Amino acid sequence: MGKIAFLFSGQGAQYPGMGQELARVSPAAAAVFAMADTLRPGTSEQCFTGTKEELTVTSNTQPDMYAVELAAAAALTEAGVEPDFLAGFSVGEVAALGFSGAVSREDAFRFVCRRGELMQAASDEVSTGMCAVVKLSPEQVEALCAQAEQVYPVNYNSAAQTVCAGLSTSMPAFRESVKAAGGRAIPLKVAGAFHSPFMHSAAVGLRPLLEQMRFQTPRYPLYSNLTARPYEPGQFQELLSAQVENPVRWQAIVEDLARNGVDTFIEVGPGATLTGLVKRILPDALALNVENAETLNAALAAVKG
């Protein structure tokens, strides 16, 4: 077996009850939820018993996702599985940041709470939508976006899947143009046009908090969504602010991890979206996910034997 990367889930994978089993079977996971509840009372209850509607509100989704992802990663390390690299999708990058030790878990949690608030506010400013485009190359999607009114590629997920965001009024015509080009556009149930210019106010709003945070060298190399490369000293403030209004280059991240010797990818947090993307990008890689007791045990068996 080669190197291991922990992948931290992105927004949209949340669901009622997430993290509850992990807190029950892992003291390290339970400690993460206790930390979150101290800083944001009710976080664990929202994860465990909140409704789908509650969890979909961005200002709730992001701190809740952070807690579950960090809990899953803590459960793995508690059981003796250490990563060689870290990467997170969108909000997952913040959970990876807290896990990496570049800042304290508490400071990263405070940051994700503010990030969720600002991105929620930006989403409320204008009516927008998102869709996943499949069966077209990223270059084809970019060309179609360039012809549309304020529609942008925002997640480069794989060679055949690019997520786009734009004005609600522009999305129907954009989806028709995708269909005419031989692709398929699948509307996404999300609260805003994340990783697009519509998030500029959130990016600006995060800068004062980032300037107050003190960063240090992470314990594990941590990938940036913006550059698709590990963070270098002095980059954290700039890239974490810019991340919210620029595309996530997920395929490039996974491919670079493979070039660095990673052949085992463990998604930590709700769902298995990133696990599926890894399998599409690197069919021969071992891709696992950890979100509850069953998947934790399965991952431990696969990695430790």
Distance separating alpha carbons of residues 181 and 35, to the nearest angstrom: 49
Beta strand pairing call for 286-290 and 262-268: parallel
H-run or E-run covering 92: helix 91-100
∠ CA 270-272-274, nearest 5°, is: 105
**Candidate list 44, 100, 123, 195, residue with the active-site label:** 195
Distance separating alpha carbons of residues 18 and 50, to the nearest angstrom: 9
Q: Residues, the chain, total?
A: 305
Distance separating alpha carbons of residues 40 and 33, to the nearest angstrom: 10
Distance separating alpha carbons of residues 188 and 203, to the nearest angstrom: 23
Q: DSSP characters for 185-249?
A: EEEE--SS-TTSGGGHHHHHHHHHHHHH------SS-BB-TTTSSB--TT-HHHHHHHGGGS-B-
∠ CA 76-77-78, nearest 5°, is: 90
Q: Which positions ≥6 away from 73 have C-beta within 8 Å?
A: 6, 8, 83, 95, 99, 268
Distance separating alpha carbons of residues 53 and 49, to the nearest angstrom: 12
Distance separating alpha carbons of residues 79 and 300, to the nearest angstrom: 8
**Candidate list 59, 90, 100, 123, residue with the active-site label:** 90
Distance separating alpha carbons of residues 135 and 182, to the nearest angstrom: 7
Identify whether 90 is a catalytic site residue.
yes
Active site residues: 90, 195
